[in-house]
Amino acid sequence: MRATKKTACRVRVQGIVQGVGFRPFIYRLAREHGIVGWVLNDEAGVDIHIEGADEKIDAFLSELPDQIPPLARIDAIDRRPCDPEDFEEFAIVESRSGNKITTRISPDMVVCAACLEDLNDPASPYYRYPYVNCTHCGPRYSIIKSLPYDRPATTMAAWPMCEHCRAAYENPEERRFHAQPVACSRCGPGFRCSDGEDTASGLEAIERACDLLNQGKILAVKGIGGYHLALDAGNDTALELLRRRKYRKEKPFAIMAKSLEHARLIVDLDRDSENVLLSAARPIVLAASRANESFNQDLLAPDNGDLGVMLPYTPLHHLLFDCGAPEYLVLTSANRSNEPISYEDEDALATLEGIADAFLVGERPIQRRVDDSVVATSSLGLHMIRRARGYAPGAVTTLPTDKPVLALGADLKNTITLVVAGQAFVSQYIGDLEQTSCYDAFRQTVQDLTSMYGISYSDLIVCHDRHPQYRSSQFARELPCMHRIEIQHHRAHVASVLAEHGLFDKKVLGIAFDGTGWGDDEAIWGGEFFAGSLNSGFDRVASLRYLSMPGGDAAARSPAQAAAGFIRELPEEVAGKLLVPPFDFSETRFETAMKMLDKDFQCRQTTSAGRLFDAAAALTGFHQEVSFEAQAAIWLEHRARASRTSRAYSFEYDAVDRTLDWRDALTELIADRIAGKPREEIARAFHLGLARGMANAAKTLCEEQGLSAVAISGGVMQNMLLLDLFASELRVLKPELELLCNSMVPANDGGISLGQAAMACFLE
C-alpha cells in the first residue's frame, strides 16, 4: 500500500546535467534522505519529482548543489509545489524528449582516477581496455548524435553491453550507472595498429605502436576528437621528417609529457598553469621552455621561448606510456597544413598516407571533430587561445534573450555561437574558412548544433561580420533566417569580454587590437578604442594612426611589405636606409611596395596593430616571409622577453586627432638598429612603449568619457608580454580603473562569435 507523503514538488535543474552521472547522483541523494519519486532527462535538463516530509525535502535541496558530480554544472534550480502521487520508492525513469531542447551538452573530459585504477587492475574487466570510462569521465560531445543523451543517441549504439557492463550500467550504486559509453574488451570496440605490412590488435596493437615510436616512426593515433600525429619528441630525425611531410616549416609542435613531474622538467609552470594542466579539460598549456639537452627547441618551436605541453587525458595515452612509449611525445593534429583535423577513418587513411608510417586506430566512431584546446597564463590569469576539447560546446554565459540566435564568427579561427533560451553555446574551434575543407566543417557545425537543439533556420536571428568578402558573411546572407544582423568586427571583440563577464549595462572603454577587420569607413581597422556598453552600443573614440598599406590584408604574409607602409609615413631619408645593413630588405619586394604606394595601387587605409607588429619585427631583424599567422609578432615577443630594459619608444596619444601615433617609436627603433643595439632590447622597448602609449590613451579617454573600466581584446592581446605590460602601466597611471579581458573565450577571432551573439541581443 502506498504511504501518503506530506509534501510533493517538482524540481527543474538546468546546466551541464546530462551524461555526467547526475541522475544516479539524484537517486542516491534521494534514498539517503528517505525521499520517493523519480528523476529523468529531458530536452531542458533534469526533471525531478520528490515526495517526503518537509524537513527531508529541505535537506535534500540544500545538499543538492554542493554534492554534484565532478563534471556537472548547475545554472539554475527551479522548485514548485505539485500534488503527491504516493510513490513507494525513488526511481530513474526513461528519458523524455520534446521539441524545445535547451539542456547543455557536456564536453569530452579526462579519464578519472577511478577508471585509471580499473585500467591497471588485472582483476578488473576493464584492465588494459583503452575505452574505459564512467559517468565522471570520458567522451561526450565527440560521440553524441542527438539529445537527450542516451546510448542509442551516441556512436556506441552499435555495441550492445555484455552481462557485466549491463549489470554496472543498471546498478545505482555503481559509478557506471547509466554511463552511456560503458564497454569492456569483451563487448566494446577494439584497437588495431597497422604499418602497411603487419596488423596487431588489442593490447598487442598498443605495444606495437610503442615499438614503432621508439624506432623513430610517425604514428597516426585516433583520439577522442580526431587523429593525432605522434612521434618521439627527442628524435630530431623524426621531427625533421614530420616538418617536411606535413609542410609545416616553423609552426610549433605541442608535447605530451608522461606526467606532471615530467612536464616540470621541460617548462616553467606556475600554479595557474599546473592547475589547468591537471584540470578535467586537460588542454595544451603554453609555458616558458626550460633549457633541456634532450630536446631541440629549434625543431620543436623555432624562434619561440615557449613550449605547448599537455598531459595524458585518455586511457589510450596512459597505456602507451605504460607500455614503453617515449616519455615525451610530439602530439599534433593529424592533417595537412591549414586543413582541419582528420576524424573519420577512411578520410584519415587517405589524407595521412605519406605522412604517417603507421596507424593506431580505434573502432569507436567520432561523431564530430574536436581539436585540443590551448591556453596561456598571464598576471591576469588564464587565457584561452583555442577553445575546443574539454570546453566546447559548453555555454559560456547567459544572455538576455529568449530568442534563438546564431552568430557565425569571423573567417579566421572561426567558431560559431548558438544561443538557446539565453544560453550562449560556443562551438569548438573550426579553423580558417578560406580553406574549402574548413568551410565545409563550418557548415557542418552550423547544421550540427542547430539540429541537435531542434532549431530551424527560419526561427533564427543570424548575425555575421560586416566584411563583405568573408565566407561566413556570404553564408549568412544565403541562410533563410528570421532576421539578419551585421556586427562590426572590433565591437564584437569588446562585446565578447563583457558577455563573458555577464556585464550588459556597464559602460567601458573598449580596446580591440588585432590584424584585420572591416571598419565603418571601409578601411582595415585593427587598433581601436570604443566607449559604450552592450545595451547602448559602442562609439569609436580613437584609433592607431592611419596609414596606407600596400596589398591590404595580403601584407600579413610579408612583414617587409607591411613595414613599407609604415616607413612611407616617416621622413624620406629613413626609407633609403632599409636597403643596406643592418636591414637588408629585399630591394625588389621593398621597391615594389613603395611603387604600389606611389600609385595607390591595391593599397588600403588601415589602423592595424597586427601590421604594426609585423613592421616592427621586420625592422628588428625578421626578414623572411611568414609561414603561419602572427609568426613575426611571436618572434618579436620572444626577443622582447629576453631583455629587461626599461627604455620605451615614444607612442604619443594625440587628443586632437584622437590617434595613438607610432611614427616617433618607429623612428627611434630604426635609429637603435643602426646604432647596433641588441634585437632583444629593441623588441622590449617597442613592447613597453606601445603598452605605455595604450595606457596613456586609455587614461585620457576614460577621464574624458567618465568611464571606470577598460575591456581589452583582439588577437594582438594574446601577446602575454604586451598584456602584462599594459596592465602594469595602467595600474601605475590610474590604479582605480578596472581591467577586463577574455578568459574562457579567445581574445583572437575565436571569441568573435560570442561578441556577435551578445550584441545581437540588443540590436534585434
Cis peptide upstream of residue 181 (ω within 30 degrees of 0): no
* Helix, strand counts (H, E) of the chain: 23, 32
Q: How many CB atoms lie within 10 A of CB 156?
A: 22
pLDDT digits (tens, 9 = 90+) for 228-271: 999 999 999 999 999 999 989 999 999 999 999 999 999 999 99
- At 133, the amino acid letter reads N
Three-class SS state of 582 = coil
23-37, 302-316, 523-537: which range is least confident on average?
23-37
Query: Whose CA is closest to 387, among 170, 188, 107, 661?
Result: 107
- What is d(CA 150, CA 130) in angstroms, rounded to the nearest whole number? 21
Element (H, E) at 244: helix 236-246
pLDDT digits (tens, 9 = 90+) for 364-422: 999 999 999 999 999 999 999 999 999 999 899 999 999 999 999 999 999 999 999 99
- What's the average model confidence in pLDDT over 291-304? 89
- What's the average model confidence in pLDDT over 261-288? 96
Say if CB 16 and CB 104 are below 8 A apart: yes
What pLDDT score does 294 carry?
80
Chain centroid to Cα 28, Å, comes to: 35
Query: Whose CA is closest to 499, among 524, 468, 535, 467?
Result: 535
Its pTM stands at: 0.93
Average pLDDT value for the chain: 94
pLDDT digits (tens, 9 = 90+) for 27-82: 999 999 999 999 998 877 899 999 999 999 999 999 999 999 888 889 889 999 99
Element (H, E) at 664: helix 663-674
Confidence tier at 587 by pLDDT (50, 70, 90): low
pLDDT digits (tens, 9 = 90+) for 700-712: 999 999 999 999 9
Q: Looking at the predicted structure, is the pLDDT value of residue 588 above 80?
A: no
Say if CB 41 and CB 23 are below 8 A apart: yes
Q: C-alpha cell of 553?
A: 590584408
Say if CB 683 and CB 636 are below 8 A apart: yes
Q: How many CB atoms lie within 10 A of CB 754?
A: 33
Say if CB 169 and CB 195 are below 8 A apart: no
pLDDT digits (tens, 9 = 90+) for 315-334: 999 999 999 999 999 999 99
Domain boundaries, the chain: 7-92, 107-138+146-188, 191-362
Cis peptide upstream of residue 393 (ω within 30 degrees of 0): yes
Confidence tier at 506 by pLDDT (50, 70, 90): very high
What pLDDT score does 98 carry?
61
Domain boundaries 7-92, corresponding CATH code: 3.30.70.100
Element (H, E) at 376: strand 374-378
pLDDT digits (tens, 9 = 90+) for 149-164: 889 999 999 999 999 9
What pLDDT score does 582 carry?
81
Say if CB 707 and CB 529 are below 8 A apart: no
What pLDDT score does 572 carry?
82
- At 399, the amino acid letter reads L
Buried b / exposed e along 367-394 (16+ C-beta atoms within 10 A): bbbbbbbbbbbbebebbbbbbbbbbbbb
Domain at 191-362, CATH from 3.90.870.30, 3.90.650.10, 3.40.50.10490, 3.20.110.20:
3.90.870.30
Q: Which residue has the higher pLDDT, 201 or 196?
A: 201
- The torsion of the CA quartet 726, 650, 525, 723, rounded to 10 degrees, works out to -10
What pLDDT score does 148 carry?
77
What pLDDT score does 4 carry?
47
What pLDDT score does 576 carry?
74
- What is d(CA 105, CA 177) in angstroms, rounded to the nearest whole number? 19
Three-class SS state of 251 = coil
Say if CB 547 and CB 565 are below 8 A apart: yes
Say if CB 146 and CB 448 are below 8 A apart: no
- What's the average model confidence in pLDDT over 611-617? 97
Say if CB 640 and CB 721 are below 8 A apart: yes
What pLDDT score does 102 carry?
72
3-state secondary structure 406-470: EECCCCCCECCEEEECCEEEECCCCECCCCHHHHHHHHHHHHHHHHHCCCCHHHCEEEEECCCCC
What is Dmax (Cα atoms) for the chain?
A: 100
pLDDT digits (tens, 9 = 90+) for 421-477: 999 999 999 999 999 999 999 999 999 999 988 899 999 999 999 999 999 999 999
What is the residue whose three cell numbers read 569521465? 137
What pLDDT score does 197 carry?
82
Q: Do domains 7-92 and 191-362 have the same CATH topology?
A: no
Say if CB 518 and CB 492 are below 8 A apart: no
Q: Looking at the predicted structure, is the pLDDT value of residue 224 above 80?
A: yes
What pLDDT score does 99 carry?
60
- What is d(CA 26, CA 621) in angstroms, rounded to the nearest whole number? 62
Q: How many CB atoms lie within 10 A of CB 123?
A: 6
Q: C-alpha cell of 492?
A: 564584437
